[in-house]
Each structure stands twice: as C-alpha cells, then as structure tokens.
Amino acid sequence: MNGIENRSVRREEQDRLEELGRIAGQLFHDLIGATSLLRGSAELMRDEVRRGQVPGEELEAVCEHAMYLERMVADVFDEVRGTGRQGGHRFELIPTIESTVERWISAAPSRSIDLRQEVTGNVEIRGRDTFFSRALQNLLNNAARHGHHRIEIRVSEMQREGRAWIAVDVEDDGEGVPLDRQPLLFTPFSHGGHGGTGLGLSYVNWAIERLGGTVEHHQGNRLGGARFRVCIPATTWRQSETPEIAKRRAKPISRDRLAGLHVVVVDDDESLLRFYRKLFSRAGAEVTALRAFGDERDESLSTRAVAADPDVVLLDRQLGGSSGDRICGEMLAERSGLRERTAFLTGGGGPGSDQEHGDIPVLDKMMDVRSLIAEVARLGRSA
C-alpha cells in the first residue's frame, strides 16, 4: 500500500510541475514582450526627457510598470520552483484592482470600463498581488476581444463556508460564450478564434487557485455578454508597504549607430513592433515591421521578409500561430546569404546561438536597448 501511495504522490507532483511549467511558459512569452516594451520605452523616454519633451512623472510611471511586470515574472517562477512562501504575501484588493485597470486602459483607451465597488471597509487578500492582477488583466483582454465597447467590473461581498469572501465580476457586452465552448473555457490551447491561444483563461484559473479562490463563467445579466466571476477569501491583515521605484541615469541613444541599415522585424505583438520601429529608426535605420497573424502561412512571412531586401532580420521565435524556426528555414532556403544577418528574439534564457540553423544568434528580449542596438549593428556589419 505504501508503494502505491508513493507512486500516487509522485504522479501528483509530476502533474503539478507539468501544469506549472505550461503556465510559466505562457507567462514567459506574454510578459517578456510587455516587460521589454516598457523597459525600452522608459529608456527612449529618458532620452526625450533630456530634451524637455516628456514630463518626468510619465517616465516614472513607465519605469514602475516595468518593475511590476518583472516582479510578476519572478513570482511565477518562485511558485514553479517552490521557493516562494504564498502564506507570507497579502495585498489590498481595491487599490490593486484600480491600478490594474489603469494600466490596462492605458493600452486600450477605446474601451469604456465601469468599476462598481459594493464592499465596505479595507479588503485584503492572502496571496501574491501579481497573480490576481494578471488574472484580472487576462479577463479584461478576453472581454475586449469578444465584447464591443463596454466592460463592467463589479466587486461585492459574499459568504461562503462560514467566512467572508469577495466576488469580482468582469462582464462584457458581446455575444456571450457559445454553449459548445463553455466546457473548454479553462482548457489550455482551446480557443474560438479572435487571435486567442486559450492560455489566458487557463492562467486565470491557475492564478486564482493559488489565492485559494475559484473562477466561474455565467451569462451576463447587465451588459448581456459573458460574465466571469472570481471568488477569493478575504482577510483583515493590513499591508501598506510599496516597492521603491529605482531611478537610473543613462546616456542618450546614438542617432547614427544603425545609419544605412534596413532592419526587418517579425513579431506577433503589434505594440512591440511599434517599439522596435521607433527604437531602430531613432538609431538611424530603415525599419520594416512584419506582424505574424495566427492564420498566416509561414511561407508568406518569409517571402515578405526576403522581398524587403533587408540588411538585418530579427525573428520572434515564439509567434502566436506561426513558428519563427520554420520562417527562418523558409527564408534561408530562399536566400542563404541572410544566415549571417539573422537573429532570433526570445523571451529569456540569455544570449546564445541556435544550432539548427547554423549558429544563428538568439537575443534576449529583456536585454537593454543599447545592447540590442549593438547586436543589430554587429549583424549589419556582415551585410
């Protein structure tokens, strides 16, 4: 009997590690792009602050958001490794919701969000605030993707199992979730189009479980679309400490470092493409940004990249519906001379090289912008 129990325990541990690894992979791809975008934007804005073009408080906000995203990544990997102490973390719910909504609106200003607070007193939750915040962002992304214009967030009190719980409802004004899709809502890689991967809601379920809560889907009763209800137990523990925002100095970006180079960037993140276009253009390069859509053939992207006649090609390795490896293979088959001028962009792991395609360099999206520009310049010198 002990042997059977031991095998069962080992199997449960293996299942847990596989689940955590899958969630961490999704976050790694999702958040590294956002982190590198914010960090790079902050460095660009520092450059503009010295010219009196951007208010200093805006720069500080961008830096704060970048540090928040990095902390979110660290929290997930602490959970994966089992090194974090979940019981030692607590956060104030309402300020966390407000700051999360503020960050989200800054990236989706066309959406109208109505935040209704129906709780009394200072509500605090046991667990990591980054888990809740990212879960809420994913629910907002889902509402924006499937709704039309309006999103409502409602925070209310409830009783469950003889204790106080908090319910957070996120409802959109879309068509709702089809009946045949509802059983698979929280299953990874199960999605109904609109460019999603199915990982967002899977992460919501994973994160809220880490807070001791649950996630449910209902038909919306106010806006008429889908309504997702997050239920989490409340606590009375207070915490007011906030991380200090570091302020660093850096030299302005050289405006002629990439002069004369034509850089092609392939990514599935439109905001990240806008950042790369601005960054490399500021350094003097001509930039062609190619966005990879989920329904686009790899050959189409490789053909467009080759047709642009680039000096340097940067390929996101983890594209939503395509493969950076396959695009690279197609591109090199069409023009082998690009081998020495191509690099992969990836979310973490540090710099290195890819053996499959002949030691093509792999660049970390989290590297600082000056190092990235230096790598592009190095690739361009071989053109």
- pLDDT at 179 > cutoff 50: yes
Assign domain 262-381 to its CATH architecture. Answer: 3-Layer(aba) Sandwich (3.40)
Query: Band of the pLDDT at 17, cuts 50, 70, 90?
Result: low
165: exposed, middle or buried (C-beta count within 10 Å: 0-12, 13-18, 19+)?
Answer: middle
Query: Which has more confidence, 43 or 306?
Result: 306
Q: What is the DSSP letter of 254?
A: P
Q: Per the structure block, which two tokens stand in for 344? A: 């992969």
Query: Which of 200, 196, 150, 155 lies closest to 171 in space, CA to CA?
Result: 150
Q: Per the structure block, which two tokens stand in for 278? A: 């601005």
Q: CA-to-CA distance for 23 and 25, rounded, in angstroms? A: 5
Q: Per the structure block, which two tokens stand in for 192? A: 């109904």
Per-residue model confidence (pLDDT) at position 299: 66
- Summarised one tens digit per residue, pLDDT across range 257-290 is 899 999 999 987 777 788 888 889 988 999 999 8
Q: Domain extents for the chain?
A: 1-82, 85-242, 262-381
- Summarised one tens digit per residue, pLDDT across range 79-129 is 666 655 555 688 889 889 988 888 777 665 566 788 888 887 678 898 888
Task: For residue 52, count other CB atoms closer than 10 A to its CB.
Answer: 7
For domain 85-242, is the CATH number 3.30.565.10?
Answer: yes
Per-residue model confidence (pLDDT) at position 33: 60
Contact 127, 212 (CB under 8 A): yes
Identity of the amino acid at 41: S
Q: CA-to-CA distance for 81 and 16, rounded, in angstroms? A: 11
Per-residue model confidence (pLDDT) at position 191: 55
Query: Band of the pLDDT at 159, cuts 50, 70, 90?
Result: confident
Q: Per the structure block, which two tokens stand in for 379? A: 């690739």
Mean pLDDT of 233-237: 72
Q: CA-to-CA distance for 67 and 65, rounded, in angstroms? A: 5
Per-residue model confidence (pLDDT) at position 309: 92
Question: Parallel, antiparallel, or unpaired: how do β-strands 360-364 and 352-354 relate?
Answer: antiparallel
Q: CA-to-CA distance for 51 and 252, rounded, in angstroms? A: 10
- pLDDT at 329 > cutoff 80: yes
Query: Band of the pLDDT at 238, cuts 50, 70, 90?
Result: very low
DSSP H or E stretch at residue 94:
helix 93-107
Query: Which of 103, 132, 104 lies closest to 206 in space, CA to CA?
Result: 132
Query: Band of the pLDDT at 222, cuts 50, 70, 90?
Result: confident
